Amino acid sequence: MADLQEMFKEAWSQALVGVNRAEAEAEKVLQKLVDAAGISPEEMKKHAREFGERLGAQRQELERTIDEAVRRAAQRFKVPTREDIEQLKQRLDAVNQRLDAMAREKDAAAGEKQA
């Protein structure tokens, strides 16, 4: 399961690197367009801000899409969620408590027989 987690982490990391590269390339292209169009620095900042906002929204959508894809892949591999593991832990704790109680009762009963 650790290999699967590493695989997902690596895929996520590569996706983010790709997005960062795309953002950097977009900034370069925007600067070239500004230079070619001959617009003022204020207009450039305005367009860059608008472009950045659109790019940020697209990045968030991409992150949501990747998160969802990873979640679906994990479900196909039957990888338990944190909630599943926590529920299992609680059930095991309850079983351990019952076993401890049964062991104490057995010890108490054995002690009474010897007395």
Q: Do residue 90 and residue 58 come from a single domain?
A: no
Question: What pLDDT does 59 receive?
Answer: 82
Q: Do residue 71 and residue 98 come from a single domain?
A: no
Tens-digit pLDDT profile for residues 76-94: 777 788 888 999 999 999 9
Question: What pLDDT does 76 receive?
Answer: 78
Q: Do residue 19 and residue 69 come from a single domain?
A: yes
Question: What pLDDT does 107 receive?
Answer: 83
Residue of 110 and 104 predicted with greater confidence: 104
Question: What pLDDT does 41 receive?
Answer: 64
Question: What pLDDT does 82 receive?
Answer: 85
Q: Give the C-alpha separation, 64 to 14, whole Å.
A: 15
Residue 115 has pLDDT above 70, yes or no: no
Q: Give the C-alpha separation, 14 to 100, whole Å.
A: 49
Residue 1 has pLDDT above 60, yes or no: no
Q: Give the C-alpha separation, 30 to 16, whole Å.
A: 21
Q: Do residue 70 and residue 95 come from a single domain?
A: no
* Domain, as residue range, for 93: 82-115
Which tokens belong to 7? 């695989």
Q: Do residue 71 and residue 96 come from a single domain?
A: no
Q: Do residue 73 and residue 41 come from a single domain?
A: yes
Q: Do residue 17 and residue 61 come from a single domain?
A: yes
Total domains in the chain come to 2
Banded pLDDT at 24 (limits 50, 70, 90)? confident
Q: Is 78 left (phi over 0), alpha (psi -120 to 50) or beta?
A: left
Tens-digit pLDDT profile for residues 30-79: 777 777 777 776 777 787 788 788 888 888 888 888 888 877 877 777 77
Residues 6+ apart with CB under 8 A from 41: none
